[in-house]
């Protein structure tokens, strides 16, 4: 391509998108910038010249990198350069990958790499949607075989009105946040979170998005016509006719006579038996060397043929490999409170998928600080986190753990979004909440099991969530315009089907969803049917969850911190902190509590004991409430003079008890009555104009006979008040 080419189109009122190529990164197979407002995203697509012969999958890598300079910011942390991708960057990479992967030719084995990052960011145009468009456009104008373009938009809702590509501020206020990716009225990818909305409204949202998606595709087509790229002829890994014919003679529909296969292991045993027979037959026919040189092709042909037989069986019999009806949920068992030291725990088992979810409660200090591209007047903190772990043993694999991968981060984020609508407000429950879902066994829908387990563990921990959130994964077989929807899919059904549609929600509506497809788009009719079936399945699952635990525990675990929030006058914050933090450090040392103070005067106090919590509140109240004559305090003697003693009645507040105010009888020496460190009950006599506080012990004995003990050593034990 020669020269710079630029196309601009208004895809909706006030939303203009520009795509430009030819200026940057001209050695890539294809590169573009996509701009909307002041947000500019760059994407480059490259492909290796040679195909790989050692793999049986399409080697696509997508990287989205957050560049903090795009927002005029320094990266956080000790090293002032971008390092490991943030969770947000990984999630952006995943939605690009999921949007474009179905549109590559089957059998393509050349490495394809998409590199995308922002060059400029504003708060009006988030980068994720633009990065999908940019990646699609870079592929379309390159010589890489790609069946695009695709269009992507985000939809929000404010005041019951849909908004196309809402700003960051609008997204935070919206009851809907959904990214829809499609092509020619077919849907390729959906990622959404909602405030418990009905299923038919989701279909409304998708239909609202489609016209803009079409315009974005048309915009890319205009650019393609200017470039007129020639697509490369690439090697496609395809089985030979000899292999296909040999497999057809062995793999016949008669293998379905072995159905139902109740467990994953039953199917794996059948699969191994068939594969051994195929390899033996091919070795006899073509020789051992032929088989060894074509193992990948033989396996590909085997999987394709087996997949076709199973799909036809399901379509014809309306039964599944494991014998279930199309909308039947696998058996569910639930245990809660099984870990004695955890703040909350739940074991959720559905079929051969098992998730152990553990809830932990912490203070504000435990919240996660988010280093984001977008501008915010306040530090962004995350008070609810869900982490998902998928160890090798869960699927019977002998592999070490090397930290969470992109899939684990994506599944954790989905379950996290699912629970957000039912969480209590921070003002009502001032805790940081973390849930970890350990997948102990997996045969499909493990992310949805972790959603259910999280809801159960939160209730077990006493977190006042409003209701349970359940999750279900829906599958699809779309053959010759026939739509067969499968509820609660297994790993096998995920692999042989045309979509993986995860839907979470309460009894009242959908809270999150995620759609991945294996084909170049599916019709909205299929999604509509799947959403209806998901609603029915979700109700069955939530009923089982309610049988295990239907309301949050009334009492927190003995091992969870106790947290309370008190409000003080912001002008008094410095009094609580003290010079150089002296007072607040002293309070923490005395009570063992954790204290977090906000600029608006909110003080969050956390302690593992109720006694420490109450003492902290008492001290802070004494510091912040005004001192008036007549008030009585229990204080500590901090200094002794020959004319009296200083008594600290609250941290940082001291008053003088003159020697004449120590007792009704004459006192010659102050130390005859008081010693350093003594606790003594005193009454405020008056406040001088310079702020000095005059205290009295004598005034108490004059007013009450209960203060006789002050005549003696002056030492008093602190009493409960």
- State how far the Cα of 576 lies from the Cα of 602, in Å rounded to an integer: 12
Phi, psi of 184 (to 5 degrees): 50, 50
Angle between helices 524-548 and 199-227 in degrees, nearest 10: 140
DSSP state letter for 705: G
Residue listed under structure tokens 């490999």: 321
Which stretches does DSSP call E strand in 421-541? 432-441, 470-479, 482-487, 499-505, 510-517
Per-residue burial over 487-525, b = 16 or more CB atoms within 10 Å of its CB, e = otherwise: bbbbbbbbebbbbbbbbbbbeebbbbbbbbbbeebbeee
In three-state secondary structure terms, 358 is strand
- State how far the Cα of 9 lies from the Cα of 696, in Å rounded to an integer: 81
8 Å CB contact between 68 and 74:
yes
- State how far the Cα of 403 lies from the Cα of 390, in Å rounded to an integer: 10
516 is known to lie in a ligand binding site = no
- State how far the Cα of 295 lies from the Cα of 301, in Å rounded to an integer: 10
Which stretches does DSSP call E strand in 139-175? 151-158, 161-164
- State how far the Cα of 77 lies from the Cα of 80, in Å rounded to an integer: 7
- State how far the Cα of 447 lies from the Cα of 408, in Å rounded to an integer: 9
Assign residue 631 a region: left if phi > 0, alpha if psi is -120 to 50, beta otherwise? beta
8 Å CB contact between 457 and 336:
yes
Cross-strand pairs, 384: 433
Which one, of 469, 538, 543, 534, lies nearest residue 202 by Cα? 534
- State how far the Cα of 242 lies from the Cα of 1, in Å rounded to an integer: 42
500 is known to lie in a ligand binding site = yes
Which residues are annotated as part of the binding site? Answer: 494, 500
Which residues are annotated as part of the binding site for Mg(2+)? Answer: 494, 500
């Amino acid at each position: 391509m020669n020269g710079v080419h630029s196309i601009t189109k208004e895809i909706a009122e006030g939303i203009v998108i520009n795509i430009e190529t030819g200026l940057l990164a001209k050695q890539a197979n294809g590169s573009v910038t996509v701009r909307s407002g002041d947000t500019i995203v760059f994407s480059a697509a490259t492909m290796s010249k040679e195909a790989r012969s050692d793999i049986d999958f399409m080697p696509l890598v997508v990287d989205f990198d957050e560049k903090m300079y795009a927002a005029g910011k320094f990266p956080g942390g000790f090293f002032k350069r971008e390092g490991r991708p943030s969770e947000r960057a990984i999630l952006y990479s995943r939605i690009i990958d999921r949007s474009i992967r179905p549109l590559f030719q089957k059998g393509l084995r050349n490495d394809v790499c998409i590199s995308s990052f922002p060059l400029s960011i504003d708060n009006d145009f988030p980068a994720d949607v633009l990065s999908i468009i940019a990646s699609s456009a870079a592929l379309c104008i390159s010589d890489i075989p790609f069946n695009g373009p695709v269009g992507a938009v985000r939809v929000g809702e404010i005041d019951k009105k849909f908004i196309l590509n809402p700003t960051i501020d609008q997204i935070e206020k919206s009851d809907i946040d959904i990214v829809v990716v499609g092509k020619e009225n077919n849907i390729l990818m959906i990622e959404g979170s909602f405030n418990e909305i009905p299923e038919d409204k989701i279909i409304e949202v998708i239909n609202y998005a489609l016209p803009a998606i079409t315009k974005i595709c048309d915009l890319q087509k205009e650019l393609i016509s200017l470039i007129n790229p020639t697509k490369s002829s690439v090697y496609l890994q395809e089985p030979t006719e000899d292999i296909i014919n040999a497999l057809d003679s062995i793999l016949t529909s008669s293998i379905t006579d072995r159905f139902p296969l109740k467990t994953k292991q039953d199917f794996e045993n059948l699969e191994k038996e068939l594969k051994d027979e195929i390899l033996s037959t091919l070795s006899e026919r073509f020789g051992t060397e032929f088989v060894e040189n074509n193992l990948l092709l033989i396996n590909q042909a085997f999987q394709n043929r087996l997949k076709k037989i199973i799909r036809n069986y399901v379509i014809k019999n309306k039964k599944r490999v494991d014998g279930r009806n199309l909308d039947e949920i696998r058996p569910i068992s639930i245990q809660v409170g099984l870990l004695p030291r955890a703040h909350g725990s739940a074991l959720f088992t559905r079929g051969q998928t098992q998730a152990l979810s553990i809830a932990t409660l912490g203070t504000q200090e435990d919240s996660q600080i988010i280093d984001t591209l977008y501008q915010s007047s306040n530090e962004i903190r995350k008070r609810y986190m869900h982490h998902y772990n998928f160890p090798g043993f869960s699927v019977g694999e002998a592999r070490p753990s090397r930290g969470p991968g992109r899939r684990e981060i994506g599944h954790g984020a989905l379950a996290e979004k699912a629970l957000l609508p039912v969480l209590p407000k921070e003002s009502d429950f001032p805790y940081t909440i973390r849930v970890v879902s350990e997948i102990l066994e997996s045969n499909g829908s493990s992310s949805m099991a972790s959603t259910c387990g999280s809801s159960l563990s939160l209730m077990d921990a006493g977190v006042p969530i409003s209701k349970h959130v359940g999750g279900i994964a829906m599958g699809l077989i779309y053959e010759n315009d026939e739509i067969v929807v499968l509820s609660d899919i297994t790993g096998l059904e995920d692999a042989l089907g045309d979509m993986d549609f995860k839907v979470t929600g309460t009894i009242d509506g959908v809270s999150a969803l995620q759609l991945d497809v294996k084909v170049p788009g599916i019709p909205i009719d299929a999604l509509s049917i799947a959403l209806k079936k998901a609603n029915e399945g979700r109700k069955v699952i939530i009923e089982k969850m309610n049988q295990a635990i239907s309301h949050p525990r009334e009492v927190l675990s003995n091992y969870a911190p106790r947290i309370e929030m008190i409000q003080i006058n912001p002008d008094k914050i410095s009094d609580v902190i003290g010079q150089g933090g002296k007072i607040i450090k002293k309070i923490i040392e005395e009570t063992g509590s954790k204290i977090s103070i906000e600029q608006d005067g909110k003080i969050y106090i956390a302690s593992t004991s109720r006694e420490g919590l109450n003492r902290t509140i008492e001290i802070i109240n004494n510091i912040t409430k005004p001192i008036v004559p007549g008030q009585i305090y229990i204080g500590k003697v901090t200094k002794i003079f020959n004319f009296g003693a200083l008594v600290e009645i609250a941290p940082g507040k001291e008053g003088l008890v003159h020697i004449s105010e120590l007792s009704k009888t004459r006192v010659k020496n102050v130390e005859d009555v008081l010693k350093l460190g003594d606790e003594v009950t005193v009454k405020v006599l008056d406040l001088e104009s310079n702020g000095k506080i005059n205290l009295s012990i004598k005034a108490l004995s004059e007013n009450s006979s209960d203060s006789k003990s002050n005549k003696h050593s002056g030492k008093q034990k602190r009493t409960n008040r």
